[in-house]
Chains A and B, each alone.
Chain A
Amino acid sequence: MNEEKTEKASKIDLNRNDMPRQSPEIRRHNFNEVALGYTEEIAVKEAKRCLQCKKPRCKTGCPVEIDIPDFISCIVKRDFAAGIKKLKEKNCLPAVCGRVCPQETQCESQCILLNKKGEIAIGRLERFLADWEAKQGIMDIPPKAKPTGKKIAIVGSGPAGITVAGDLILLGHEVTIFEALHKAGGVLVYGIPEFRLPKAIVAREVDYVKKLGAKVFTDYVVGKTRSIDELLKEFDAVFVGTGAGLPWFMDIPGENLNGVYSANEYLTRMNLMQGYRYPMSSTPVKKHLKVAVVGGGNVAMDSARTALRMGAAESRIIYRRSHAELPARLEESENAEEEGVIFNVLTLPVRYIGDENGWLKEIECLRMELGEPDASGRRAPIEIPNSNFRMQMDAVVCAIGNSPNPLVPSTTPGLETTRRGTLVADPETGKTTKDRVWAGGDIVTGAATVILAMGAGRKAARSMHEYLMTGK
C-alpha cells in the first residue's frame, strides 16, 4: 500500500514547463510581445502533468469558474477545437486572460501541486488554446438564443462591458456598446502595452462580440453625448462599466512640471495613440533619457518597461515599501528587472524640481523603513527623518492608482456612490441603486484586475437577463 503510493507520487511530473520568451537584451528594445507562448509540444507536455483531480480546486480559484481540468484534458488529447470551446463557455476573452490574469493568486494558487512547487501552468495553457484558435483563422460563433426583443446599452467597452455584451447577446438580447475613445477595448487598448498584450488580440476579441451582433459606437461619451436617463428611454437596461479612469497624483510640489505624467497619459500616448511608432504616428512623444516611475503595481511595471523601449538609458521604479510588498505580478516585476529596470524600494518622492522652462530636472525623495502592518495587512512604510536625497531625472510617471471616473455618476441622478467615488452595486448581481441600471468592474470595485471585472460582468449579465425575462 505504502509502496504503491510512493510509486504513484514519483510519476507525478513536477517540472512546470517554461514559456519561451524574447531574451531581455533583445526585448528591451522592441515592442513585440515578450512571452512567445507554448508550442504544441510543450502545451501537451504541460497538460499531461495535470492530475485531473476529482474535486478540482483550481476551478474555485477562478473568478469566472472555468472548467479547467476539462479544457486541459482536451489539450492532452490534442483536440484543441474542443478545448477552446470548453474555455469559451465560461470566458469570452481567453487570449487576454491567458496573458494578463494573475493566475498565481487565482487558479494556480489552488493547484494541488503547488505544495510541491509544480503547479500546472493554467494561464499558459489557456493562452495556448486561444492562440491556436486565432492561428486557424476561423472564429467559432456559438448559436444565439431566439431574439427576446430586449435592448441593452453597455457603457464602456473594457473587459466588464465586453463580457456582459457577449453573455447577453448569446441569450438573445440586442446589445449596443458605447465607448468614449476611438477604439474599443478600454484599458486593454489604452493601458496595457503591446509587449504584454498585443492590440491585434484585443481587436480580435472585440471583433468577436461584433460578429455575434453587438453594435459598437466609439467616440461616444455617455454622460456627455447622451445621459444614462436618455439611454433608459431607448433601452430596457443599462450596464455601466466605465472603469477607473481618474488618475491620482500625490499632491506634492512640482507635479504639474513638464515631464511629469500620469501613467494613464504615458501609456495612452504610447498604446492607444501609437506613440511608440512616432514620428510615423502623429501624437508626439518626448525622448526621455532618465525615467522614474512612482508605484509598484503592474501599471508601474508597464510604464517602466515602456520607457526602456522608448530609448531611456535609465528606467527606475520608485516604491515606498519593500520588494516583498510590490503589488505587481511577480512575473512582471521579474521581467522588468531582467530588462534592466532599477528598483528603488523604500523610497518616497516628496518634491519635483524643475528648470527655468518648467521642465522636470530632479526629484527629491525620502528613504523609508517598514513598521507595523497597516489596514491593508502590509507593513506600513515610515519616513526616515532627514534622509532626503535627490535624483536627476527628466521624466516621472505617476502610477499610484486611479479613482473611478466620475462622468457617469455625476450626470446620473439616483445613482449612489461611495465615499471613494465608486458606484454602489450589489456584489452578487451588480444592481445599482437606480432602476434598470447595473454596474461592474473598476467603477464598482476601484482599480482591480481584468478578470475580476469580467467576473462582475458575468454576474451582472445573469441578473440583467433574469430581470429582462421575469421583470424582477
Chain B
Amino acid sequence: MHLLVIETPEIASKVRPGQFVIVRANDEGERIPLSVADWDAQKGTITIVFMEVGASTGALACLKEGDSVATCVGPLGNETEIGNFGTVMCIGGCYGIGSMYPVIKELKEAGNKIITVLEARSNYLIYWTDRFVPLSNRIFNITRDGSQGFKGHVSRLPDIINGLLTPPDRIIVNGCTFLMANVSEVTKNLGIKTVVNLNPIMIDGTGMCGVCRVTVGGKMKFACVDGPEFDGHEVDWKEFLARRKAYLDEEALFFRRSEPKPIIHEGGKCQV
C-alpha cells in the first residue's frame, strides 16, 4: 500500500468526494484511474492511496519525493451524493479506506451519524484510524488474520449490523471489487441502500473508449462518466469481475519479465 501526494493546484481546488484522477507514472506508462483520498486546496495537492498490483502501480510505487508523474488528469467522474441520510455506514477496504475519508468528512458535516468499518488483510494495512475516530460514532475493524477487530472478511458484516441498535439508513463502500460485490450481496437481503464506487479498467476517463462499461439495472453504463458510484444492488457483479480480470495474464507476464525490484516494503513499512 502506498500514499502519493501530487501537486496539482487546479485539481486540488476542484475535486469532490468520490471522484478520481487518471495517472500515468511515466511516458511509457499505462493510464490508470485512482480515487482521491484527500486534498489541500491551499497547498494545491491531492493525496492518493493505492495498492501495488502490477506494472503501472509498481512504477508509481517506485517514485521518490520530488519526482513527477507524466499524467495526472481530473477530477473525473461524478461526486458522491452527500445529504442527511440519518445513519450512514461507511465501509473502506484496503486502498478504499483512503478514499472513504473525504466522504465521511462531508457526510459528518451534513449531519449524519457515521459508522465506520475498516477492512484489510492484516492490521498493518489499516491506516488513518486517527482521522476516522473524531468523525465516527462507531468504528469497527475486520482483518483476515484477526490481528485487529473482527477476524474474517466482509461476511462478518451482518454480525456488525445485527449488533447495532438500528440498522444504518445507507451504506457506502469503497474498496476492491470483491468487497463491494459481497457487501452488496449481504445488504440486499437486509434491504439497506448500498452505494459502491466502481474501479474498472479505464483509458481516457472521459467517455471516449468505453472500456469501463458496466451493466447497472440491466442498462449499459460507462463508469467514468455515468459513475463511478452506482447502486450496488443493481450492478451485474459477475460481469464486472470478469471485465476487471481481463488483463490478469498480461500482468503476470510483466512480473515474469521484469527485473527484480528493490524491496520497498519490509515489516509492513514503506522503505522508500
Contact = CB atoms under 8 A, between A and B. Distances in A.
Given A182-B24, A279-B253, A273 B243 contact: no
Given A282-B28, A283-B31, A256 B208 contact: no
A225 B74 contact: yes
Nearest to B251: A284
A219 B210 contact: no
A279 B10 contact: no
Contacts of A255: 213, 220
Contacts of B10: 225-226
B247 A284 contact: yes
A180 interface: yes
Contacts of B257: 279
Given A182-B24, A283-B30, A256 B214 contact: yes
Nearest to B69: A219
A71 B243 CA distance: 53
Given A226-B10, A358-B238, A358-B239, A282 B207 contact: no
Contacts of A249: 210, 213, 220
A273 B73 CA distance: 16
Interface in A235-249: 245-247, 249
B207 A407 contact: yes
Given A251-B220, A273-B31, A219 B206 contact: no
A132 B129 CA distance: 65
Contact of A221 (B74, B213, B239, B253): B74
Contact of A181 (B29, B74, B204, B213): B204
Contacts of A282: 28-30, 55-56, 59, 254
A256 B214 CA distance: 7
A405 B207 contact: yes
Interface string A283-322: 1111000000000000000000000000000000000000
B95 to A, nearest CB: 20
Contact of B206 (A245, A269, A285): A245
Contacts of B28: 274, 280-282
A246 B250 CA distance: 27
Contact of A273 (B203, B210, B251): B203
A472 to B, nearest CB: 33
Interface string A211-233: 00000001111001110000000
Contact of B30 (A226, A273, A407): A273
A406 interface: yes
Contact of A256 (B203, B206, B213): B213
Interface residues of B, number: 44
Nearest to B247: A284
B73 A219 contact: yes
A303 to B, nearest CB: 13
Given A182-B24, A256-B243, A282-B29, A265 B73 contact: no
A226 B9 CA distance: 12
A405 B15 CA distance: 21
Contacts of B29: 282
A405 B76 contact: no
Contact of B204 (A180, A226, A359): A180
Interface string B54-69: 0110010000000000
A417 interface: no
Contacts of B225: 406-407
A17 interface: no
A284 B56 CA distance: 10
Chain A contact patch, size range: 35 or more
A255 B73 CA distance: 28
B217 to A, nearest CB: 14
A256 B204 contact: no
A246 B214 contact: no
A259 to B, nearest CB: 8
A470 interface: no
A269 B30 CA distance: 10
A357 interface: yes
A262 interface: yes
Interface in B61-98: 70-76
A268 interface: yes
A109 interface: no
A245 B214 contact: no
A269 B214 contact: no
Nearest to A356: B242
Q: Which of A190, A247, A357 gathers most chain B CB within 10 Å?
A: A247
A258 interface: yes
A264 B210 contact: yes
Given A180-B73, A219-B72, A405-B207, A225 B220 contact: no
A407 B206 contact: yes
B133 interface: no
Contacts of B31: 182, 273, 283
A225 B239 contact: no
Closest 9 CB pairs of A and B: A358-B242, A284-B250, A245-B208, A265-B209, A219-B73, A262-B210, A284-B247, A283-B30, A247-B210
Given A180-B73, A359-B242, 8 more contacts: A190-B204, A225-B73, A245-B207, A249-B220, A268-B209, A284-B251, A285-B250, A407-B206
Interface of B: 10-11, 14, 24, 28-31, 55-56, 59, 70-76, 203-211, 213-215, 220, 225, 236, 238-239, 242-243, 246-247, 250-251, 253-254, 257
